[in-house]
Amino acid sequence: MLSTWELILQQTVNGLISGSFYALVALGYSMVYGIIKLLNFAHGDIYMTGAFVCLAVFGAICGTLGGWMGLAVAILVAMIIAAALGWVVQRAAYRPLLGAPRLSLLITAIGVSLVIYNAVMLITKSRPQFFESGLDATAGISLGNVKIAYLKLVLLAIAAVAMVALTLFVNRTRMGRAMRAISMDQDTCRLMGVNVNQIIGMTFMIGSALAAVAGGMACVQYSTVVYSMGYLVGIKAFTAAVLGGIGSIPGAMLGGLLLGLLEAYGTQVPFIGSQWKDVFAFGLLILILVVRPNGLLGKTQVERM
């Protein structure tokens, strides 16, 4: 029987794991929305595609390159494929509509989501796939009656490195400054010689690559990959992005981690089980939209006519 503090520690680790998935996917939502004000509802399906690619690549190379090295290669390949898919989606579906009303972009995003969803469903014949990493999931650190697996700590470290790398990229590099400038005024950036379309394409690629990292982590954490897995994670990542402040990169990270922790702690409320965790997530979304529509770190934006 776990004591109160041991239970809090265990649920904190569980919440940070699931929250890191939400945060990595939410970053893609926030980056794209911050630049072109598009809610890219196909982003959850790119996360799902990244998971399938990771599974397929790891299965192909595990005979010669298994363990952590094989997993690292599989996630890297998944990032490349997902980044390419993100670029194709924005080039074929979104770029021609950048000057169109936002409703047209939103409907297109839903259409792209359905295309990817059904394509993967046909390829996999609707069958769940199982991921066998061969890694020891029992080894870990013991703190009293709580055992924290090294595998979970590595997953948290991967998510933290990805988030820190993105923050440094956006704040310290020339392309990152261009992204921030385009989010403020695209027309002025064009007049100053910035290739706006190229920067938008790069934004989609980076967001998609981060979603693939989350997909690869999900393979290890849950050991099952199914074509419908992107829907719920995508909606929760959107909730995390709204919670933190849609368009804010630090907000997406904060929102994802808070949402994961809320779900983990909420399942321990008396008379409420794990089947209610989605209620906590979407109840929080409604509450935030009512009380603070701009999110925790979001800023009020004034539309110029």
Share of the chain above pLDDT 70, in %: 93
| Pick from 227, 36, 266, 209: nearest CA to 116 | 227
Name beta bridge partners: 149: 140
For residue 54, pLDDT over 70 is answered with yes
Place 64 in a pLDDT band, splitting at 50, 70 and 90.
Answer: confident
| Pick from 253, 218, 226, 204: nearest CA to 74 | 218
Write the single-letter amino acid at 49: T
- Residue whose tokens read 């066998």: 132
Mean pLDDT, residues 205-227? 90
Whether the Cβ atoms of residue 25 and residue 216 lie closer than 8 Å to each other: no
The pLDDT mean for the chain works out to: 86
| Pick from 121, 113, 215, 109: nearest CA to 162 | 215
Q: What is the pLDDT of residue 112?
A: 94
Place 226 in a pLDDT band, splitting at 50, 70 and 90.
Answer: very high
Place 305 in a pLDDT band, splitting at 50, 70 and 90.
Answer: very low
Q: What is the pLDDT of residue 43?
A: 92
The reported pTM is 0.89
d(Cα 267, Cα 76) in Å, to the nearest integer? 34
Instruction: Return the HEC string of the chain.
Output: CCCHHHHHHHHHHHHHHHHHHHHHHHHHHHHHHHHHCCCCCCHHHHHHHHHHHHHHHHHHHCCCCCHHHHHHHHHHHHHHHHHHHHHHHHHHHHHHHCCCCHHHHHHHHHHHHHHHHHHHHHHHCCCCEECCCCCCCCCEEEECCEEEEHHHHHHHHHHHHHHHHHHHHHHHCHHHHHHHHHHHCHHHHHHCCCCHHHHHHHHHHHHHHHHHHHHHHHHHHHCEECCCHHHHHHHHHHHHHHHHCCCCHHHHHHHHHHHHHHHHHHCCCCCCCHHHHHHHHHHHHHHHHHHCCCCCCCCCCCCCC
Q: What is the pLDDT of residue 272?
A: 65
Mean pLDDT, residues 84-107? 90
Q: How far is CA 197 from CA 2, 162, 203, in A?
A: 54, 24, 10
User: In this predicted model, what pLDDT tens digit does every residue of 28-52 receive, in sequence order?
Assistant: 888 888 888 888 889 999 999 999 9
For residue 124, pLDDT over 80 is answered with yes
User: In this predicted model, what pLDDT tens digit does every residue of 243-276 receive, in sequence order?
Assistant: 888 888 888 888 898 888 888 887 776 666 667 7
Mean pLDDT, residues 56-65? 83
Q: What is the pLDDT of residue 210?
A: 92
* Structural domains of the chain in order of their starting residue, each with its CATH number: 4-291 (1.10.3470)
User: In this predicted model, what pLDDT tens digit does every residue of 149-184 receive, in sequence order?
Assistant: 887 888 888 888 888 888 899 888 999 899 989 988
